[in-house]
Amino acid sequence: MVESDRFEVRLATRDEVDWALAMAASEGWNPGLDDAECFAATDPEGLWVGLVGDEPIACLSAVRYPPSFAFLGLHIVRHEYRARGYGRLLWHAVLPRFAGWRLGLEAAPDLQPAYCRSGFVEAWRNVRYRGVAQGRPSRQAVPLGTVSLDAIFAYDDAVFPVPRHDFLETWLDQYDATALGMLGGDRLTGYGVVRPSLHGQRIGPLFADSPAIAEELYFALAAAVHGQEISLDAPAANAPASALAAHAGLAPVSETVRMYRGGAPATPLDRVFGVTTLELG
């Protein structure tokens, strides 16, 4: 039973963004150490909280990529308030604000039926691989900071559903992260980022025109964090990505379902060897 008269939904404060990511960490989602800054830079109004009294007890992100795409995540209710309807109240308070928008999210498989009831349809599945980073230096991969932002934006625009330039400028500038690219002539043929997380390192994105380019980038990124725990989220439909993970000594540890409402974008999964982040798409 929901005590709805005590429940308020509003935009989160900056401190509550940190609180939401701490909640994600407690769920074992292993967010990146700079994820809060990237959330705030991409959409300062991208996180909603549900409160009982003055106390936040639930959160839901709805990060906007104008003009009409948003990605949902961080739908979490504190353990002691679960099974009381608060998550559903928060969901139904936020979703109507995005009528007519294409929405994406990453669902745990057991929650997929609930999202289907809200009009979301499975597009593909992502597998999380984890292991110890075993890298090798590369003479071909170049620091992404030596590549023009226009070239990076153009490459990313062809893979991600919509332009996300503000997000990328922050994402590529995370503290202690390594971002590398591959060039073919004067054009980018792939790029990747490895960033510190609560536990070990996470790679994302890892976009490449071919499996060979993806492999060169992966092992160059892994060399930057050699010997540390490393994770990679890759589409199950991209068989070469699964082969790369196995070749790198990574093992599958979990699976999620990428879902969309309003139609799935034409994502070239053969170029996606690692999604950027399960929370932001």
Average pLDDT (56-80) is: 93
* Numbered ranges of CATH 3.40.630.90 in the chain: 128-274
Q: Domain spanning 4-105: which superfamily? A: Gcn5-related N-acetyltransferase (GNAT) (3.40.630.30)
Place of tokens 């995540």: 73
Burial class from Cβ neighbours inside 10 Å (0-12, 13-18, 19+) for residue 162 reads middle
Q: What is the pLDDT of residue 5?
A: 58
| Amino acid 21: pLDDT | 87
In DSSP terms, which residues pair with 105 in a beta bridge?
A: 72, 259
Phi, psi angles (nearest 5°) of residue 139: -85, -10
Kindly report whether the peptide bond that precedes residue 205 is cis, defined as omega within 30 degrees of 0: yes
pLDDT in tens, 164-211: 999 999 999 999 999 999 999 889 999 999 999 989 999 999 999 999
pLDDT exceeds 50 at position 100: yes
How sure is the predictor about 4, in pLDDT bands with cuts at 50, 70 and 90?
A: low
Does residue 121 have a pLDDT over 90? yes
Q: Is the pLDDT of residue 2 over 70?
A: no
DSSP per residue, 215-259: HHHHHHHHHHTTTSEEEEEEETT-HHHHHHHHHTT-EEEEEEEEE
Question: For the domain with range 128-274, which CATH number is right: 1.20.1050.10, 3.30.1490.190, 3.40.630.90, 3.50.50.60?
Answer: 3.40.630.90
Considering the chain, tell me which residue range(s) the CATH 3.40.630.30 domain(s) occupy: 4-105
For residue 39, the model assigns a pLDDT of 83
- As a whole-number percent, the residues of the chain with pLDDT over 90 amount to 83
